[in-house]
Structure 1
Amino acid sequence: MNEKVMRNQRKWQTIIFATIIIVLTYLSSDITNFNIIHGIATLPNAFTWIVSNLFITQETLERLPKILEKLAETILMSIVATTTATVFSLFLGLMGSKTTGTSNLLGAFARFIASVARNIPVVAWALILLLSFGQNSVTGYLALFVGSLGFLTRAFIESIDEASQSAVEALRATGATYFQIVYKAVIPQCLPQMISWILFMIETNIRSATLVGILTGTGIGYSFDLYYKTLNYHAVALVTLSIVISVIMLELISNHIRKVIL
């Protein structure tokens, strides 16, 4: 009897949830004047335009070395921003974790920094920093750094909190110092998961760096924006393909590393 009641409850909950989603979708479409049927009807024309314009020619391939140079700049900027943010995030993670935190005030400060940096999108950070630093690589780097800092700090806090307490308590019982506990008990347990988060952040930053580059005038984003504004769609296709291939390759490498360490 109870099982039947629970099934009915889940059924009604599903119906109510689906109804809410449908109503919200309709209201959103109505408020924004978006016609779903018209959008679906234009898809064939959109695909036709893509096939007709976004293809690579022999002349476009001559631009490949320059495009690859900009792509390498974007990838390196993403890696540097992630690795430097990792160092600061580790300290903030140790401060914000309940396992390794030494002060409630410092813990609240670390979580506040993570919340602010993480909840503001990277593109928004780029626009904010653009006013102070202008269009250059420093602005792009700082935008990616702040976004990485917020995400990694939050991820590290959760990873440290999930670590086993037995090793920590054992070292405390032997009179080990704070840094010995962190180095011998906390980091070894959390390291594989932390590396996984760092790799994920590098992948994310490479995608974000393309958008940031459009705003800051750097990297592969700048090349994409330049070719798009000059209506050179063949070069746009080559830039897009280069980005897609590089992201897929880095994802495959990251997945392989995760399989090895996890």
Structure 2
Amino acid sequence: MDIAVFQKKKQRMTLFMVIVIGLTLLSARMTDFDFLHSVLTLPKAFSWMASNLVVTEQALTKMPSILDKLIETIFLSITATTTASVLALLLALMGSHTTKINSFFGSLSRIIASVYRNIPIVAWALILLLSFGQSALTGYFALFLATFGFLTRAFIETIDETSSSSVEALRATGATYFQVVAKAVIPECSPQIISWVLFMIETNIRSSTLVGILTGTGIGFAFDLYYKSMNYHVVCLITISIVVVVIGIELLSNYVRRVIL
């Protein structure tokens, strides 16, 4: 019996690999992608990067302006995430099976979360760019809307995992809806909620670089400006600065998670 099960699993895995390889080759043919040419051009690409993406003394003179843009990007990401998390929590309370007011608002909340979550942040930036133009407000709303959709869904699942015994106990004593939320749901879910908020701050700092290229704000605008002027030494400095900031924020958020979880 064990041999038959093993052979069946092996056949399924073989079929899966054949399908994946077939789809890969078909996609490469449809897009005129040449695997061999790509591999042969790798040494030349790395050679160009080694000779051009180098931080020079002249590039370091741009560091003060780069730091200003980095600080703007960080605060924009934090602001968008924190404000979106407040509204996402309110909507999640209505959408969760544990705390929903009624079925209509519960379904409506989940639909709103699904729609906002499945629209990419780049699409939000392009849509808002037509309305607000290139400004920090456009970048803020793009990060806000994408974050709002993601966190609403994450908060709904977090609240759904809340122990129903504490909720039922408070309801049995005659506690109101807001008392149940404040005394049972929020205290139990707060560590996971804070963890999700920290995760989105990290994500938005990375995403805001791309959003900044489209909206003309923050570190993304500086990257785009120097890249288009072919000042690759400053581009390298900006890239390193972004990596250092993202790693620093990630280490800080990981420390906070270890403390609260």
TM-score, normalisation: structure 2 = 0.98
Q: Distance in 2 between matches of 1:145 and 1:64?
A: 28
Q: Distance in 2 between matches of 1:201 and 1:236?
A: 25
Q: Distance in 2 between matches of 1:6 and 1:91?
A: 49
Aligned-pair distance for 1:170?
0.6
Q: Distance in 2 between matches of 1:163 and 1:9?
A: 39
Size of the aligned set, in residue pairs, is 261
Q: Distance in 2 between matches of 1:191 and 1:5?
A: 48
5 Å-filtered alignment, 1:178-193, equals 178-193=177-192
Q: Which residue of 1 aligns with 2:106?
A: 107
Aligned-pair distance for 1:210?
0.2
Q: Which residue of 1 aligns with 2:134?
A: 135
Q: Which residue of 2 aligns with 1:79?
A: 78
Aligned-pair distance for 1:4?
2.7
AA partner of residue 200 (structure 1):
F
Q: Which residue of 2 aligns with 1:172?
A: 171
Q: Which residue of 1 aligns with 2:21?
A: 22
5 Å-filtered alignment, 1:4-19, equals 4-19=3-18
The superposition leaves residues 161-219 of structure 1 with CA deviations (integer Å, 9 ceiling, x where unpaired) of: 01111101111111111011111111111111111111110011011100000000000
| 1:245 and 2:237 aligned | no
Aligned-pair distance for 1:145?
0.1
Q: Which residue of 1 aligns with 2:150?
A: 151
Aligned-pair distance for 1:89?
0.2
Q: Distance in 2 between matches of 1:57 and 1:249?
A: 24
CA RMSD of aligned residues (A): 0.8
TM-score, normalisation: structure 1 = 0.98
Aligned-pair distance for 1:127?
0.1
The superposition leaves residues 210-239 of structure 1 with CA deviations (integer Å, 9 ceiling, x where unpaired) of: 000000000000000000000000000010
Q: Distance in 2 between matches of 1:9 and 1:82?
A: 47
Q: Distance in 2 between matches of 1:94 and 1:66?
A: 42
AA partner of residue 249 (structure 2):
L
Bigger mean CA offset, 104-113 vs 230-239: 104-113
Aligned-pair distance for 1:8?
2.0
Q: Distance in 1 between matches of 2:164 and 2:30?
A: 52
Q: Which residue of 1 aligns with 2:203?
A: 204
AA partner of residue 234 (structure 1):
H
Q: Distance in 1 between matches of 2:8 and 2:79?
A: 51
Aligned-pair distance for 1:43?
0.9
5 Å-filtered alignment, 1:107-126, equals 107-126=106-125
Aligned-pair distance for 1:250?
0.4
Q: Distance in 2 between matches of 1:113 and 1:137?
A: 25
| 1:69 and 2:68 aligned | yes
Aligned-pair distance for 1:261?
1.1
Q: Which residue of 2 aligns with 1:88?
A: 87
Q: Which residue of 2 aligns with 1:224?
A: 223
Aligned-pair distance for 1:117?
1.0
Query: Matched residues, percent identical?
Result: 62
Q: Distance in 1 between matches of 2:5 and 2:153?
A: 36
Q: Which residue of 2 aligns with 1:37?
A: 36
Q: Distance in 1 between matches of 2:81 and 2:99?
A: 23
AA partner of residue 26 (structure 2):
L
